[in-house]
Structure 1
Amino acid sequence: MINNSSHVNWRPTADIQSLRQRAVIIANIRQFFALRNVLEVETPCLSNATVSDLHMRAFCTQFNDPMSPQQKTLYLQTSPEYAMKRLLCAGSGAIYQIAKAFRNEEAGKYHNPEFTMLEWYRPDFDHVQLMNELDELVQQIVGCEPSNRMTYQQSFKEHLSLDPLSASLEELQKRGCALGYEHICRDEQDKDTILQLLFSHEIEPNIAKQRPCFIYDFPASQAALARINLQDQRVAERFELYYKGIELANGFHELANVSEQRQRFDADNAQRRAFDLPPVVTDEFFLAALESGLPNCAGVAVGIDRLIMLALNKTKIAQVIAFNYQNA
C-alpha cells in the first residue's frame, strides 16, 4: 500500500504568530466585558429548532436518542441568540458569549461555515446605546477612529439618489436594471431582494473605507428580531456595522412581544414555502421564554474572525483561524 500522507498539507491556515495575537485579542475582549460587569455565559451548540430566516441555512444532524425509538433532528446553532434570550428572560442580566456558530452557506475570503461569534445583550439599552458600546470595543481592538453613522435611507439617497422606504417595486426594478442587474431585477417581485442587491453591490463597497460606519434604521420588512420604530413605523431599530468592505456586526433593539414574534416566524415559513424551501419548526422554548417576559434590551452579534482579520491587517479569514473548512 502506498502512503500518500506526505502529500497532504496538514499545516494550519494561520501562522502561529497570528494565533498568538488572536488569543491576546480574545483575552482583551473578555477584559472589556469584565470591566463592565457583563457576565460570560455558554449555551449549547446543538438545539431542537433553528432560525426561520429565508436566507440562512442551518446544518442539522441526527441524534440517536436512547430515550426514544426514533432518531431526533438537532441543529447546529447559526447564533446563540435564542438561548441567550432565554437566559435574559430567566433574570441573567447583561450577558455575552464567545461561541462557535455554523451556517451552511457560502465559503470564501470572508466566510467559513464554522466561525466564532461574539454576541452580547444589554438590559435597559436601546440600539443607539449599544452602537456606542460596540464602537468603543472596535476602536480598542482594531485601533481605528470612531465610527460614522447614517440611516439606511440616507445611504441609498447619498449613493443611489433613491429612497428605499418609498420607492415602488417598478422603480427598484428600473434602477437595478440600469445598474447592470437586469438578469435579477427584471422579473424580481420582492422589493427587499432588490434592495439587498443594491445595498451589497452599490453601497457597501463605498462606505467605511477610512473608519467604521454604522447603518441603522433598516426597513421594517427587514426587521428580523428587532422592534419597529414607534416614531416611524417604516423602519426597524436595527443596525449593521461595516469597515473596509466587511460587515462586522448586526444588532437590534430586541423585539419582546411574543405575539408579533410568532407572526414573524409564521410569515418567514410562508415565504419559505413560496420559494419551495422546507418550513422550519418554531422554537417553542424561545417563544415560551418571551411570553414570560424579555427585559427591555439591545443585542448584537459580531464576527470575531473578521474583527481579528482587520486588527491584524489580514486579507482573508483563513489567515486568522487555525484551520478553515478545506483542511479541518
Structure 2
Amino acid sequence: MNQSSQLPASPWWTPSVHADRRPILLARNRIEAAVRGFLAAEDFLLVDPPGLQRSPGNETHLHAFGTQMIGNDGVGQAMYLHTSPEFTMKKLLAAGETRIASLGHVWRNRERSGLHHPEFTMLEWYRVGDSYEAIIADCVTLLRLAAQTVGVTSLIYKDRQCDPFAAPERLSVVEAFGRHAGIDLFASMDDDGNTDGEALAAQMAALGMDVPADHSWSYLFSLILTAEVEPHLGMGRITVLDRYPAAEAALARRAADDSRVSERFELYACGVELANGFGELTDAGEQRRRFVAEMAEKQRIYGEHYPLDEEFLAALALMPAASGVALGFDRLVMLATAAPKIEAVLWAPVAP
C-alpha cells in the first residue's frame, strides 16, 4: 500500500486546512504574549525546567512517558518526561527564588480527547510568602486577560458560556457535592480526614447511582466529581472549587481551620477545568507518606508505579511557605477562541 494513502484526508499541514486554523493560532500567540506581559508586570522570573526527570510525579492517575538515558559508559538509566515542572520549580524556591513562572511543554500518557493531548503547554507559577488567595486572583485575571486580548466577552466551549468578568463563584468541594450530587462527603470522613469508601458507596446506592465494584473512596470521589459535579461548574461565571478533602490534597497543605480539608482549589469555566492550585505543603514527612500511598494505589490499579524524587523531598526542608498553580494554557486558548477541541489550538498536534 502506498504510504500516502494511509494519511488522513486533510492533514493539518495541508495549506487549506492550515489557512482555516491560522486565525486561532495567531490568537494563541497574542494570548501568550499577553500572559508573558502579565508575568513580567508582576515581577515573575521566567524559568525553564528540564522535561527529562527521574520521577515524573507521584499522583495515582497521572501517567508518564518513560525512556532511557544512556551514559558514555553505555549504561542506561530510567527517565521520564515530566507531567508537570512542579518538582523542579519547588527546588528553585528552596534555592532562594521567590516569584517564578514556567510556560512550557509537559507530557501525560493515556490522555487524548477533545480536552486532552499527550503533549501540551502548561503555565505554572509560584508566589513565596503569599496565600493561595493571591494565586486564585492571578487565575481570574488571566482568564479576563485572554478574553480581552482576543476581543470577546465570553469564554465558550461547545454550547456552554462563561462570563470571565462576572464575580466568580466560590464553592467548597463539600458544598459542591451536596448541591450537585446530593452527597454528604463529610459523612464518609472522620475528624482527621480519614475516608470510608463503603460509607460513600452506600450514599451513592441510596441515590440510585451506579456503584462500581471498586469501593475505594478516592475512586468513588473521582467518579462523582466527573459525572455529577463538574458539568455544573463555570456555567455563566467562573467557579473556584475550593477546600479539597485532605485525602485529595496532592501537594497542598491542610487547612488551618479544618484538618479534614486542604488548601487546594481548581478553577472551572464552561465545565472545563483550567487550573489546579495549592497552598503548598512543605512537610517532607507528610509529603513522602502521601507519595507512598499514591504509588501503592497506582500499583493496585494500573500495575505500575514511579520512583520518588528524593532530591525534591530533601528540598522541602528548605522551601519557604508559598502558593502555586498550574494552568492548562491550551485549554485557556480554546475557551477564549471558542475552538471545538484542543488540537485546533496547537500549531502542530502529535500524530495519532
Moved more, 150-159 or 14-23: 14-23
Q: Tell me the alpha carbon deviations over residues 57-77 of structure 1, each in whole angstroms, 9 at most, x when there is no partner.
A: 1001112211x4421111101
Partner of 1:283: 309
Aligned counterpart for 1:230 among listed residues 256, 259, 263: 256
Aligned counterpart for 1:173 among listed residues 191, 201, 210: 201
Q: Tell me the alpha carbon deviations over residues 76-129 of structure 1, each in whole angstroms, 9 at most, x when there is no partner.
A: 010000000011111111000101000002201100000000000011112222
Partner of 1:297: 322
Aligned counterpart for 1:244 among listed residues 260, 265, 270: 270
The 2-side partners of 1:205 and 1:193 are apart by 18
1:108 partnered with 2:129: no
- 5+ residue gaps, structure 1: none
The 4+ residue runs of structure 1 with deviation greater than 6 A are: none
Taking the TM superposition and a 5 Å limit, the aligned residue runs for 1:214-229 are 214-229=240-255
1:128 partnered with 2:133: yes
Query: Once the two structures are aligned, what percentage of the paired residues are identical?
Result: 35
1:262 partnered with 2:288: yes
The 2-side partners of 1:276 and 1:4 are apart by 37
Moved more, 161-170 or 98-107: 161-170
Q: Cα RMSD (Å) of the superposition?
A: 2.0
1:64 partnered with 2:89: no
Aligned counterpart for 2:93 among listed residues 80, 88, 91: 88
The 1-side partners of 2:91 and 2:235 are apart by 37
The 2-side partners of 1:198 and 1:82 are apart by 29
SS of 2:237's partner is: coil
The 2-side partners of 1:86 and 1:215 are apart by 28
Q: Tell me the alpha carbon deviations over residues 154-177 of structure 1, each in whole angstroms, 9 at most, x when there is no partner.
A: 111211232212235344223434
Moved more, 38-47 or 282-291: 282-291
1:206 deviation in Å?
1.4
The 2-side partners of 1:270 and 1:318 are apart by 34
SS of 1:272's partner is: helix
Q: Number of residue pairs matched?
A: 323
- Counterpart contact for 1:173–1:188, Cα < 8 Å: no
Alpha carbons of 1:111 and 1:186: their partners in 2 closer, same or farther (altered >3 Å)? closer
Aligned counterpart for 1:316 among listed residues 334, 338, 341: 341
- Counterpart contact for 2:103–2:122, Cα < 8 Å: yes
The 2-side partners of 1:79 and 1:120 are apart by 11
State the AA in 2 paired with 1:122.
R
The 1-side partners of 2:287 and 2:302 are apart by 23
1:193 deviation in Å?
1.1
- 5+ residue gaps, structure 2: 148-152, 154-163, 189-195
- Counterpart contact for 2:187–2:199, Cα < 8 Å: no
- Counterpart contact for 1:229–1:236, Cα < 8 Å: yes
The 2-side partners of 1:81 and 1:2 are apart by 45
Moved more, 138-147 or 238-247: 138-147
Alpha carbons of 1:180 and 1:99: their partners in 2 closer, same or farther (altered >3 Å)? farther
Partner of 1:149: 170
- Counterpart contact for 2:56–2:84, Cα < 8 Å: no
Partner of 1:75: 80
- Counterpart contact for 2:183–2:204, Cα < 8 Å: no
TM-score of the pair, normalised by structure 1? 0.92
- Counterpart contact for 1:177–1:186, Cα < 8 Å: no
- Counterpart contact for 2:46–2:101, Cα < 8 Å: yes
State the AA in 2 paired with 1:94.
R
